[in-house]
Structure 1
Amino acid sequence: MADELDILRRANPVPATDPRFHDRPLDQHAQRRLNRLLHGERRSTSPRPLRRWVWSVGTAAAVGAVVLTLTLSGSTTTPAVAAPRPLIVEAGSTPVPLDRLADRVTASGSQRLVQGTHVQTWSMSLTSGPGARPPITLPAERVVRWKADGSHTELVVATDPRHPGRPVVTDADPVPRTVEDGHVLSRRTYPPSWSDAPPVARPPHDAERLRAYLDEIDRLEAMGTSELLDAVAELLNNWTLGAREDAALVRVLADAKGLRPAGAVTDRLGRQGQAYVYEDTAHSARRMLVLDPRSGAVLGIEDTVTKDDPEYGVKAGDVMSYSAWMR
């Protein structure tokens, strides 16, 4: 235990001076970092590579919980926990380079910047060690709305638009279980609060300042392409971007190294998009960014594992997480 405490104290993933963590639970970004510290590489004791993907949308404590394989009914029923398949690029579609898309996108649209978000997520929950159970995929929808007085509400619902009306698996309790489609997992109201630190601070709408803003979100690591995508997700989990911010973000992404155009895709909400793929070889992951080909808005980010990992029961091609942002 002392070793884990030393790691946490040195990393300080939730500094007391950071207003993002006042009077609210950890967000997904903080949870992911906490779980990477708890379950990832310990330089002094383990030669194994850092496991980026050992995380859950539940509380940090739930990562170690025993996961049960749940089914809708009977032994012949398709498991309710089946992971979504990776998005497939349309055969014969023409990839659009990011710099060309950035030149095409204008900041003159009617969409305005709004504090708050509406996002659908699918996240893999993993366990390892003796008694570990197969991974399960947890779908949820989250709506955050801010009010003029600085207060805001957060509504989280268990739902999967791929299977409307069917029961949904959730880890809202210590042991995963099925609930009705549309079941409210949490409904919270937060008191007024203000911050000048990203991602709560208002994002700028020019590329250079937006890049610095995103860099400030991810303070623990150098800003590579994978870290940039993490920061973009964190931004979109707090703000619905306007046309000017969308245009600036596409310009920032166009400068990212290793983010290659892949072609047209249809996302999990049925929207047409352009896919851009980053091969994160250091973490055996493939990251796909989906952009609206007209406005440049980020439609989604998909993380797929590229190497089997028997310890956690994942195979190459498994979708570890997917976020689809809506307006």
Structure 2
Amino acid sequence: MATSAAALVAGVVVVQVADSSTPAYAATPEPLQVQYSGDAPMARDALLRLAAALEAAPAPAQSVGRFSFVRVGQWSLDMSFSKGSTDVAMVPQVISTWRAADGSGKVATVNLDRSDLEQRPDAEGLLAAAAGSVPDVNTYGPGELAAVVADPVPTDANALEQALYAHQPRVNGAKSAVRAVADLYRTTEVDQNVRVAVLRFLARTDGVLLRGAVTDRLSRHGLAVSVDSDNGGTRDILVFDQRTGLLLAYESMFLRRPERLPVRVPAVHAYVLYLDQDRRADTT
């Protein structure tokens, strides 16, 4: 199974903010427009319905190959503090990962900065810059490229729960469940049986709320669920394709402004768009 995207929305802005009672604010993306932005219901029933529909659907043809391949586009706030000021950079990347079951593989990262996009800080500009850039490539021998969950990824929800909480500790609450799922999709081709297990795992996780219908930053329609944590200070959102059950996007936002960080809340400080996933015979 493979997903692809034709556009990626991101930008680069660098703001230097001296300590002040009236700081200049860094530009951040607008939050996603969700169906339930206020009092959201629990996500359990919606997730179980999606899992059941996916389980009843014909299994898609499985791609074959030694390497699990995943490509993501991601944007994150990068900040540094120096001499009473805060430097904030909004940094986009495109990351491609090939990983074999023995932990060998390759990661190719296109890092984009302000000069790459200052003329065209839009979707086409980012993709054009990424396509025309030489990626930073790292290769890994057996055992050197760790997976979030070792192959084969469990298709039983109980076993998958144990594996995901070994990566993101259960003690940190429901946000660990959401973040572990986001991390799983970053490094592993997730087949239909695992997608069902992921949905069932989230359905029984206390604190996962339904945000409903949403259009992600690639104009893909999906079902959003979220977890609020840190006493209401942060929100993590997952967006799933309602046809395939694949994860389309992950976002993290501040609902309360952290000290010394010049952003207006709610502020999206990171997002990941899942662009492609399949299996490949080699790392080219």
Task: Could you tell me which runs of 5 or more consecutive residues in structure 2 were left unpaired when the two chains were aligned.
Answer: 1-12, 17-25, 277-284
**Cα 1:295–1:167, aligned 2, differ >3 Å: closer, same or farther?**
closer
In the alignment, which residue of structure 1 is the partner of 2:33?
88
In the alignment, which residue of structure 1 is the partner of 2:15?
69
State which of 141, 155, 161 in structure 2 corresponds to 1:205.
Answer: 155
Count of residues paired in the alignment? 239
For residues 148 and 217 of structure 1, the distance between their equivalents in structure 2, rounded to whole angstroms, comes to 18
In the alignment, which residue of structure 1 is the partner of 2:8?
none
In the alignment, which residue of structure 2 is the partner of 1:172?
none
- Between the aligned residues of both structures, percent identity stands at 26
Say yes or no: does 1:326 pair with 2:272.
no
| Partners of 1:82 and 1:136 within 8 A in 2 | no
State which of 86, 89, 112 in structure 2 corresponds to 1:133.
Answer: 86
**Cα 1:167–1:198, aligned 2, differ >3 Å: closer, same or farther?**
closer
Matched residue SS, 2:269: strand
Say yes or no: does 1:193 pair with 2:138.
no
For residues 195 and 181 of structure 1, the distance between their equivalents in structure 2, rounded to whole angstroms, comes to 24
Matching residue's letter, 2:105 = H
Task: Could you tell me which runs of 5 or more consecutive residues in structure 1 were left unpaired when the two chains were aligned.
Answer: 1-66, 71-80, 169-178
State which of 103, 119, 125 in structure 2 corresponds to 1:166.
Answer: 125
Deviation of the 1:218 alpha carbon: 2.2
**Cα 1:206–1:317, aligned 2, differ >3 Å: closer, same or farther?**
same
**Cα 1:111–1:278, aligned 2, differ >3 Å: closer, same or farther?**
farther
In the alignment, which residue of structure 1 is the partner of 2:257?
308
| Partners of 1:247 and 1:295 within 8 A in 2 | no
For residues 266 and 282 of structure 1, the distance between their equivalents in structure 2, rounded to whole angstroms, comes to 27
| Partners of 2:225 and 2:239 within 8 A in 1 | yes
State which of 68, 74, 86 in structure 2 corresponds to 1:115.
Answer: 68
For residues 284 and 99 of structure 1, the distance between their equivalents in structure 2, rounded to whole angstroms, comes to 28
- 1:241-280 to 2 correspondence within 5 Å? 241-280=190-229
For residues 186 and 283 of structure 1, the distance between their equivalents in structure 2, rounded to whole angstroms, comes to 37
**Cα 1:205–1:133, aligned 2, differ >3 Å: closer, same or farther?**
same
Alignment RMSD: 3.4
Matched residue SS, 1:166: helix
In the alignment, which residue of structure 1 is the partner of 2:282?
none
Cα shift readout 1:251-293 (whole Å, capped 9, x = no counterpart): 1011111212122111112211011122214360112111111
Normalised to the residue count of structure 1, the TM-score between the two structures is 0.63
Which is bigger in relative contact order (C-alpha 8 A, separation at least 6)? Answer: 2
Normalised to the residue count of structure 2, the TM-score between the two structures is 0.72
Q: In proportion to residue count, which structure has more strand?
A: 2
Deviation of the 1:103 alpha carbon: 2.3
